[in-house]
């Protein structure tokens, strides 16, 4: 397949002639959804943890191993050239998906966690010195807290945290006030995994840039649900995980502005990331290869490319509108259940419905729902500071994807009623 053939084609499939979004057609693309769990049809509402994979992604990986498997960027032989072409075609797909200016700004990493660690260990270690500050928000996933804590400990720098209100919205004034002369980086989530809050990212980036502070965005929970345009946002770094956007696990993307990536030292070292090596001196490869040491996850990269093609085929506007409808429908129904308290009621939200029920532990909610074939996540969602902010040890969290239906939301509501009966 040529690079051109892999470009996003903009053809939107599941909008029927009537203009309605055809969710059943989407569901048919996901083999895993058509099974029973504990005797009930599977209702998969744990999409913020990981989403299911369409046939197109599964097939792309199988096709690669059956037809093209070879190492990339080295061989002169047919298979290696094929594998390299497919690998680099996926990079172009990502570039187009994020609207990055250059494909060299797209670095493949294991996922969001690695993307953030890469920036902390390269940009961070080079730029942050004793007395400097890194600014985050109170709604970050642990992956966007701990790497900065480690960096700040090492450098004797200070981690600053902008607070959130009772709805789970960022206090923008506080965020602006914390951007000081010592702030070397703001690292903020686009969408909160525990609350569903969508941050006013463009505004935040403008605020940071007006103080010459670069911004890293954790896009793990945004990329599956909304159009992300890194040039329009003007973010300096943007990272996301393939597995939350219908792609394979263990693969993700770090976007970085070329000027910043150029100036950064390498992250991991070894093969592929070098230009030349002698025992006296090594020079590094050009972008993005400087940051891709060793044989990469070729099959996963190709699978990720197929996932983004798939998403583009559905149309991000269609996905967003469908999920928005589900979230509104679910929010109304679940909040009407006696004893339920929603955690995260921001005006701008995506995909996530976190809640607690009076006197019932979230783990019990999850277990009883599972017996009815309904998969949700319970716990602190790797966002313990958010739990502390809302005074709960954990929440039950339903999170929606493009293949979920209103009928599944009805099943969730019936399931929660059952939980209440069991504990009555
Ligand atoms: N950032 C956010 C906002 C996330 O939601 C997650 C994963 C990560 C970073 C880390 O992503 P990874 O792919 O590198 O692990 N969040 C979740 C979740 O909410 N439930 O399971 C994983």
List pLDDT tens digits, range 276-326.
Answer: 999 999 999 999 999 999 999 999 999 999 999 999 999 999 999 999 999
Number of independent structural domains in the chain: 2
- What is the per-residue pLDDT across 6-26, written as a single tens digit (0 to 9) for each? 567 655 666 665 667 899 999
**Of the residues 285, 312, 339, which one is the last residue of a structural domain?**
312
* Residue 349 predicted with pLDDT over 70: yes
Q: Is the CB of residue 248 below 6 angstroms from any atom belonging to ligand 1?
A: no
Q: Do the bridges between strand 43-44 and strand 374-375 make them parallel or antiparallel, or are there none, so unpaired? A: parallel
Please tell me the distance from the alpha carbon of residue 354 to that of residue 377, in angstroms, as a whole number: 9
CB-based burial label for 75 (10 Å; 0-12, 13-18, 19+) = middle
The pLDDT score that the predictor gives to residue 2 is 41
The pLDDT score that the predictor gives to residue 20 is 76
The pLDDT score that the predictor gives to residue 8 is 76
Torsion angle in degrees (nearest 10) through CA of 98, 113, 192, 253: 10
b/e string for 203-230 if b means 16 or more Cβ within 10 A? ebbebbbeeebbbbbbbbbbbbbbebeb
Residues 342 and 295 in one domain: no
Please tell me the distance from the alpha carbon of residue 88 to that of residue 268, in angstroms, as a whole number: 20
- What is the per-residue pLDDT across 23-40, written as a single tens digit (0 to 9) for each? 999 999 999 999 999 999
Average pLDDT taken over every residue of the chain: 95
Residues 236 and 123 in one domain: yes
Q: Is the peptide bond before 256 cis (omega within 30 degrees of 0)?
A: no
Residues 363 and 285 in one domain: no
CA-nearest of 368, 346, 245, 42 to 354 is 346
The pLDDT score that the predictor gives to residue 179 is 98
The pLDDT score that the predictor gives to residue 5 is 43
- What is the per-residue pLDDT across 247-280, written as a single tens digit (0 to 9) for each? 999 999 999 999 999 999 999 999 889 999 999 9
* Cβ within 8 Å of residue 415, ≥6 positions away: 368, 369, 372, 374
Residues 257 and 138 in one domain: yes
Residues 243 and 371 in one domain: no
The residue behind tokens 């047919």 is 78
* Residue 352 predicted with pLDDT over 50: yes
At 271, list the tokens.
């093969």
Of 49, 145, 377, 382, the one to substitute when testing ligand 1's pocket (max ligand atoms within 8 A of C-beta) is 382
* Residue 49 backbone phi and psi in degrees, to 5: -75, -55
The active-site residue, picked from 15, 176, 382, 413, is 382
Residues 109 and 7 in one domain: no
Q: Is the CB of residue 111 below 6 angstroms from any atom belonging to ligand 1?
A: yes
Residues 411 and 386 in one domain: yes
Shortest-distance Cα residue to atom 21 of ligand 1: 49
The answer to whether residue 221 sits within a structural domain is yes
Residues 217 and 88 in one domain: yes
pLDDT top residue among 130 and 15: 130
227-242 average pLDDT score: 98
The pLDDT score that the predictor gives to residue 3 is 42
Q: Is the CB of residue 146 below 6 angstroms from any atom belonging to ligand 1?
A: no
**Of the residues 282, 312, 342, which one is the last residue of a structural domain?**
312
CA–centroid distance, 220 to ligand 1, in Å, is 6
235 given a catalytic annotation? no
Instruction: Name the region of 168 (left: φ>0; alpha: ψ -120 to 50; beta: rest).
Output: left
- What is the per-residue pLDDT across 150-199, written as a single tens digit (0 to 9) for each? 999 999 999 999 999 999 999 999 999 999 999 999 999 999 999 999 99
Residues 235 and 304 in one domain: yes
Residues 68 and 47 in one domain: no
Shortest-distance Cα residue to atom 16 of ligand 1: 49
Please tell me the distance from the alpha carbon of residue 76 to that of residue 4, in angstroms, as a whole number: 22
Q: Is the CB of residue 84 below 6 angstroms from any atom belonging to ligand 1?
A: no
The pLDDT score that the predictor gives to residue 75 is 80
Please tell me the distance from the alpha carbon of residue 6 to that of residue 76, in angstroms, as a whole number: 22
**Of the residues 284, 312, 340, which one is the last residue of a structural domain?**
312
CA–centroid distance, 178 to ligand 1, in Å, is 25
25 sits in which H/E element: helix 23-27
Torsion angle in degrees (nearest 10) through CA of 32, 24, 45, 343: 170
376-391 average pLDDT score: 97
Residues 179 and 290 in one domain: yes
The answer to whether residue 122 sits within a structural domain is yes
Residue 258 belongs to a domain with what CATH number?
3.40.640.10
CA–centroid distance, 88 to ligand 1, in Å, is 26
The pLDDT score that the predictor gives to residue 1 is 40
Residues 44 and 87 in one domain: no
* Residue 288 backbone phi and psi in degrees, to 5: -90, 0
316 sits in which H/E element: helix 316-335
* Whether 363 contacts 348, CB under 8 Å: no
Structural domain of residue 329, as residue ranges?
3-52+314-419
The answer to whether residue 8 sits within a structural domain is yes
The answer to whether residue 424 sits within a structural domain is no
At 21, list the tokens.
């979004």
CA-nearest of 46, 349, 47 to 168 is 349
The answer to whether residue 39 sits within a structural domain is yes
Instruction: Name the region of 198 (left: φ>0; alpha: ψ -120 to 50; beta: rest).
Output: beta
Of 45, 141, 250, the one to substitute when testing ligand 1's pocket (max ligand atoms within 8 A of C-beta) is 141
The residue behind tokens 């992300």 is 228
HSE-CB at 111 with a 13 A cutoff on CA atoms is 16
pLDDT top residue among 351 and 12: 351
At 342, list the tokens.
């929603």
Q: Do the bridges between strand 340-342 and strand 215-218 make them parallel or antiparallel, or are there none, so unpaired? A: unpaired
């Amino acid at each position: 397949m040529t690079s051109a053939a892999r470009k996003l084609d903009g053809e939107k499939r599941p909008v029927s002639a009537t203009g309605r979004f055809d969710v059943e057609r989407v569901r048919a693309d996901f083999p895993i959804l058509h099974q029973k769990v504990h005797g009930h049809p599977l209702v998969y509402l744990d999409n913020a943890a990981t989403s299911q994979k369409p046939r197109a992604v599964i097939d792309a990986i199988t096709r690669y191993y059956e037809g093209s498997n070879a190492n990339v960027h080295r061989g002169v032989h047919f298979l290696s050239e094929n594998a390299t072409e497919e690998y680099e075609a996926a990079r172009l797909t990502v570039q187009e998906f994020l609207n990055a200016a250059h494909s060299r700004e797209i670095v493949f990493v294991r996922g969001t966690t690695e993307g953030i660690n890469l920036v902390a260990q390269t940009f961070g270690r080079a730029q942050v010195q004793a007395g400097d500050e890194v600014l985050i928000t109170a709604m970050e996933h642990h992956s966007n807290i701990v790497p900065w804590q480690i960096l700040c400990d090492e450098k004797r720098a200070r981690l600053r945290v902008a607070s959130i209100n009772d709805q789970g919205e960022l206090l923008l004034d506080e965020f602006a006030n914390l951007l000081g002369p010592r702030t070397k980086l703001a690292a903020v989530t686009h969408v909160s995994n525990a609350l569903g809050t969508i941050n006013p990212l463009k505004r935040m980036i403008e605020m940071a840039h007006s103080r010459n502070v670069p911004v890293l965005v954790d896009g793990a929970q945004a990329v599956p649900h909304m159009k992300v345009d890194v040039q329009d946002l003007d973010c300096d770094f943007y990272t996301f995980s393939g597995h939350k956007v219908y792609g394979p696990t263990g693969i993700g993307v770090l976007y970085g502005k070329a000027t910043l990536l150029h100036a950064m030292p390498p992250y991991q070292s070894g093969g592929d990331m070098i230009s030349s090596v002698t025992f006296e001196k090594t020079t590094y490869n050009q972008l993005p290869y400087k940051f891709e040491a060793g044989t990469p996850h070729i099959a996963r990269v190709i699978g990720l490319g197929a996932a983004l093609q798939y998403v583009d085929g559905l149309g991000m506007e269609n996905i967003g509108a469908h999920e928005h409808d589900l979230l509104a429908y679910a929010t109304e129904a679940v909040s009407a259940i006696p004893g339920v308290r929603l955690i995260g009621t921001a005006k701008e939200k995506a995909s996530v419905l976190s809640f607690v029920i009076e006197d019932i532990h979230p783990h019990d909610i999850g277990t009883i729902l599972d017996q009815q074939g309904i998969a949700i996540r319970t716990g602190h969602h790797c966002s313990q500071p958010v739990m502390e902010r809302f005074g709960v040890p954990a929440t039950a969290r339903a999170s929606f994807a493009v293949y979920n239906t209103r009928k599944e939301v009805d099943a969730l509501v019936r399931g929660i009623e059952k939980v209440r009966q069991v504990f009555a």
